[in-house]
Amino acid sequence: MATETYLDHGSATPMDERARHAMLDATEAFGDPLRLHGPGRAARTILEDSRATVAAAIGAQPDEIVFTSGGTESVALAIWGGSRPVRELGRRIVTSAVEHPAVGGVTHTLESDGFEVAMVPVDGSGRVDLDAFATEIERPGTLLASLQHANHEVGTMQPVAEAVRLCREAGVLFHTDACQTVGRLPIDTGALEVDLLSLSAHKFGGPPGIGALYVRRGVPLVAFPCGDDRERKRRSGMENLPGVAAMAAALDSSREDTADQAAFQWFLTDRLRGFLEGVPGVRVHGHPTQRVPHLVCFSVADVDAEILAMALDDRGFRLSVGSNCSGAAGEPSPVLEHMGTPNTPSFRIGVGRDTSEADVARFADTLPGLVDELSRVETATESAMARYRPRDEI
């Protein structure tokens, strides 16, 4: 029986024990937080206490936190809801070429409504071209810019502080998708000076299906989708109270040892990068230093990515394969394509609290043999096909 080695913490993390207890406790609060009766007040207390906890964790005020169904809705609310109130001033959105698919989804919707979306290129490490970014946000009619704090696939961190400064000078709202950094690194919205920031609970020990959007005081925001009076009319639908309570508990728990966890995970991924760079046919992607501590992205030449993924899974290694959030294991990565490596499927390792040095060592012992074996099979298969290929195809 293969040892189970979970290396997909960039996609989802095991639930924190405190979060699990908070979730179960909150299921007892069945009241509607908008009601004035006892059950309603009890539910509202949990809701607002959780809001205060999440706000404190990212250097915000409680009234700047909007609870959502996850990171994707948070991103959609930020971009759609942030641009609609000021659309009489223009209809341009600026983002990068390597954003999460959530950004592409909402900008496509805006394009169908007459908005223009400019995508800024990135370099070979995934870092956005700041000169091109500055040029785009200064164009007339630009309302909002959105850049990831860290890329979801290669882990490269973007120069958000510099981008915010440029947006301030241009009078453009700035949103950052911080789903891969909140709970992993210290985040202070006041220091970053962002207008909007997205986070997702299941990235840091919370449950799936719950997230939040930070909205700086004074920033107008239209509800998406439109609805009732929930979340100060900034988001419709009954709040997921157990999810909210669990997210707050998980984020509060993560703050206790953020620095220690980041240092250890950096140590693990640094070892992984060094090992991978020595395996023939393997290429490591992303910035070597300006990156989150927990992610490593690589590709393997001349090997079927789907077959290698299944072989690794058969040996107990659970990691992300293919273009993340697409579900297609063998498909080329759009992120790597924009970084100058087209037609390449990616593998992403995400380490977490339960990842050990032994886990990394086992992976290092297993991968080279698999790559070599599959490369030889691939070469033999291609040679056999060439021998039997009809003459008119040669």
Which amino acids are annotated catalytic?
325
Residue 306 to residues 89, 128, 204, 294, 362: CA-CA distances in angstroms?
48, 30, 28, 23, 21
Residue 29, φ and ψ in degrees, nearest 5: -90, 90
Q: Are strands 196-200 and 173-177 parallel, antiparallel or unpaired?
A: parallel
Which residue has tokens 């301030």? 168
Q: How far apart are CA 242 and CA 30, in angstroms?
A: 10
Are 279 and 372 contacting, i.e. CB atoms less than 8 angstroms apart? no
Q: Which residues, including other chains, have CB under 8 Å from residue 125's CB and lie 6 or more apart?
A: 154, 156, 285, 286, 287, 288, 290, 339
In 3D space, the residue among 271, 272, 280, 274 whose CA is nearest the CA of residue 369 turns out to be 280
The encoded tokens of residue 20 equal 């699990």
Are 66 and 81 contacting, i.e. CB atoms less than 8 angstroms apart? no
